[in-house]
Amino acid sequence: MGVTPKIAPSMLSSDFANLASEAHRMINYGADWLHMDIMDGHFVPNLTMGAPIIESLRKHTEAYLDCHLMVTNPLDYVEPLGKAGASGFTFHIETSKDNWKELIQNIKSHGMRPGVSIKPGTSVEEVYPLVEAENPVEMVLVMTVEPGFGGQKFMPEMMDKVRILRKKYPSLDIEVDGGLGPSTIDVAASAGANCIVAGSSVFGAPEPAHVISLLRSSVEKSL
């Protein structure tokens, strides 16, 4: 099927004063991707990072930079992030219902891999047209907390969305983000998620490498 585990530590939980060394540390511990939360203070209350930080980090790592855009106008970010060296560009369907075709095309033309995300209150059916389009997204991110802040409690009821997506699209990359860690990974992996974003559970662990390995083995068993 081609679906493989991808463990993506959320750099929002890292030490921002040492971003390059934190990135190296995560990759050395076995991470596949580095998850970059880009928030605009408008679509979500928090304000985090933008293209300059992606550009700075890109100079220090060849890792896949998995950018999650929690912003009101994702189209405005495509060119700057493409130039900065982002690898993946995941936008929210809630802000892009009218222009997602243009958005996907732009993301791909700037050398990035397009993904779409849904908030907990958004129906999973909203993303079907984007997965089935002639020029489709390549990943769906199911938020398992309300976007905007790290350290929230995992919402197990979101796993129904993951199950539906996995059954409908067996070879799709399905990402989950929010409250993922050793106590919640099995339910997410068994529902069909293969891309796992984990922040405080990795960065706050005495042995981050052990947590990354545990997340991976749970996904591998379920796949």
Q: Give catalytic status of residue 160 as yes or no.
A: no
| Selection from 95, 51, 55 nearest residue 72 by Cα | 95
State residue 19's pLDDT score: 98
| Selection from 68, 67, 142, 80 nearest residue 106 by Cα | 80
State residue 150's pLDDT score: 72
43 close to 6: Cβ distance less than 8 angstroms: no
The answer to the question of whether 148 is labelled as a binding residue is yes
State residue 2's pLDDT score: 77
The answer to the question of whether 32 is labelled as a binding residue is no
The answer to the question of whether 179 is labelled as a binding residue is yes
pLDDT in 10s for each residue of the chain, 223 residues: 579 999 999 999 999 999 999 999 999 999 999 999 999 999 999 999 999 999 999 999 999 999 999 999 999 999 999 999 999 999 999 999 999 999 999 999 999 999 999 999 999 999 999 999 999 999 999 999 999 877 789 999 999 999 999 999 999 999 999 999 999 999 999 999 999 999 999 999 999 999 999 999 999 999 9
Domains of the chain: 6-222 (3.20.20.70)
The answer to the question of whether 151 is labelled as a binding residue is yes
- Active-site annotation holder among 15, 32, 37, 98: 37
Determine the Cα–Cα distance for residues 91 and 220; give it in Å rounded to an integer: 27
The answer to the question of whether 210 is labelled as a binding residue is no
The answer to the question of whether 200 is labelled as a binding residue is yes
149: number of Cβ within 10 Å: 14
88 close to 67: Cβ distance less than 8 angstroms: yes
State residue 79's pLDDT score: 98
State residue 152's pLDDT score: 84
State residue 85's pLDDT score: 98
Q: Give catalytic status of residue 66 as yes or no.
A: no
Determine the Cα–Cα distance for residues 54 and 162; give it in Å rounded to an integer: 29
State residue 1's pLDDT score: 52
- Active-site annotation holder among 32, 66, 173, 177: 177
Task: Please indicate, yes or no, whether the overall pTM of this predicted structure exceeds 0.85.
Answer: yes
